[in-house]
Structure 1
Amino acid sequence: MKYLSKVGFGVAMAVTPLTAFAVSNLQGLIDLLKGLLQGIGGLIIGLAFVAFFWGLAKFIMNADDETARSEGKRFMIWGIIALFVIISIMAILGVLNNTFFGSGVNLQGTTDYGGFDWGGTGGSVPVPPLPSGDMRSI
């Protein structure tokens, strides 16, 4: 009985945040999934780049060893395949997003970095003004 009460207390403590941050409507579920995909997507893209460059380094550093070169080639090929698949999935999700939600939902997060709007949700990149006056004096 003592063990059961400890396990029950542990499960209750583990489930409490789930009920406190529970999704109450469809938009909450979309926001939750969007946050998860943003974090996981960046990690997977980073791992694919690391795999490609790891294979490239093995290929270059072991130019005399044929087995190490073939292993490097394999890493590079799988890195490129992973990047292609990830970009394809992002494109498909973008099409589905625009189809079902219009352009109001941005699955890739904000494009506002450092106060500059780099496109994405409208707006433009700031352009410095042209100098006024006589250009020969410059």
Structure 2
Amino acid sequence: MADRKCLALIAHDQKKNDLAAFAKAHEATLSGWKIVATGTTGGRVLDACPGLDVTRLKSGPLGGDQQIGALIATGDVDCLIFFVDPLTAMPHDVDVKALMRLAIVYDIPMALNRATAEQLIDFRRT
């Protein structure tokens, strides 16, 4: 039996509830994925969808972004959904840019907002 694909979930503070709502709306589809998430984001997703297989890493500013980046670089993440808040300054913006760069370098699908994430989930389901 093939291993399940791995999806990384990240959200800026002002987008965490949106990502949890997205996960709830797509819980059945996401149940087929192994999920890794930064700490607080993973907690919110688990609160909304306790049945999902979510591994919580460190909080983004405390190294969680780099942990997910490392998983991308080793080929252990197949897809990235990162709900970005473009209106709030992020003190760890350089980490966020590095993570997005890795997703591009390793050519994995990446969604930065709900509209794109909806399309990505629909596409990956087929």
TM-score by length of 1: 0.24
In terms of fraction of residues, the more strand-rich structure is: 2
TM-score by length of 2: 0.26
Q: Which has the higher contact order (CA 8 A, sep 6+)?
A: 2
